Amino acid sequence: MPKGAFKVYQEPNDPRDIRFEVCLDPEERIPAEQSNLRDEIDITLLVLRMIFPQSDERFKNYFKQLLGLAQAGLVGDRAQPAAAHQALIVLRDQITAQEGGRIKNKYMKELGWKALLIGPGLLLVYVVISLFHQLDGVFKSYLFLWAGCMAGVWLSFGARKRQLRFEDLHILEQDRMEPLVRLIFAGLLAVIFGLLFSSKMVVIKFGSVESWQFTEQMELALLFGILIGFSEQILPSTVGSKASELLNQM
């Protein structure tokens, strides 16, 4: 059994960090199993530091367990990296089970509140303006389209992230968009689709209904907005492909 290649201890200048010091002779190589374990411990520590604030007691508890298994797998003449790696998997599963729901619900609340501010907020603006001015029905349909999109984006996250993995805890969305930016981005893409539908450059038929009719029926505008928002992960590529098709025909 290879001896432990490291000295592992809590960083003196940063209680939220772990110090790894190689203690092998210069001609010796770090065993691959220990090198991989150290990399996985670094990733785990990074996630913990990102999801917990400085003074959180939960971080201290998880950190203590992480430091202990790091020392068991990387230190001494009887280092056991395989057993430490298995313990690391169990620790990650424990963190995900205990913290995943809290993190997901916190994000969904933030996304939901911003969606409520933007979506119904637009409809409220329409109501207020219509009290003083006669607005065009097409303008109203785009407001409903955008409002529906806000609800669709919120539903999309809940449907896609039904169960978080450990790797999702610190980065819920791989594109790293903040909730407000995501909602505005998806809303503008919904408007682009609305323009394609209303101009009949793109016509999609659902039963007896065609996509351009959202400008005449507000319930269709709301429904199309929800469907577009629900598909927000594929919207950029879809818009990009349609733009390429149009430009190639010019």
Band (pLDDT 50/70/90 cuts) for residue 1 is low
Farthest-apart Cα atoms in the chain, separation:
83
Band (pLDDT 50/70/90 cuts) for residue 173 is confident
pLDDT reading at 201 higher than 90:
no
Average pLDDT, integer, range 230-238: 80
pLDDT at 166: 92
pLDDT at 17: 94
Share of the chain above pLDDT 90, in %: 50
Is residue 6 within 8 A of residue 74, CB to CB? The reply is yes
* Token pair 């927000």: residue: 232
- Strand-pair partners of 22: 6
Band (pLDDT 50/70/90 cuts) for residue 200 is confident
pLDDT reading at 113 higher than 70:
yes
Write the pLDDT tens digit of every residue in 141-156. Answer: 888 899 999 999 999 9
pLDDT reading at 70 higher than 90:
yes
pLDDT reading at 107 higher than 80:
yes
* Residues whose CB is less than 8 angstroms from the CB of residue 107 and which lie 6 or more positions away in sequence, other chains included: 157, 172, 179
d(CA 218, CA 124): 15
Neighbours of 79 (CB within 10 A): 24
Return the DSSP state at 37: H
CA of residue 242 relative to chain centroid, distance: 26
pLDDT at 249: 67
pLDDT reading at 72 higher than 90:
yes
Average pLDDT, integer, range 182-207: 88
Q: Where are the domains of the chain?
A: 6-79, 99-248
d(CA 30, CA 36): 10
Q: Which two tokens stand for residue 142?
A: 């785009």
Q: Which two tokens stand for residue 170?
A: 């610190």
**Rg, Å, the chain Cα set:** 26
* Token pair 């530091």: residue: 49
d(CA 101, CA 103): 6
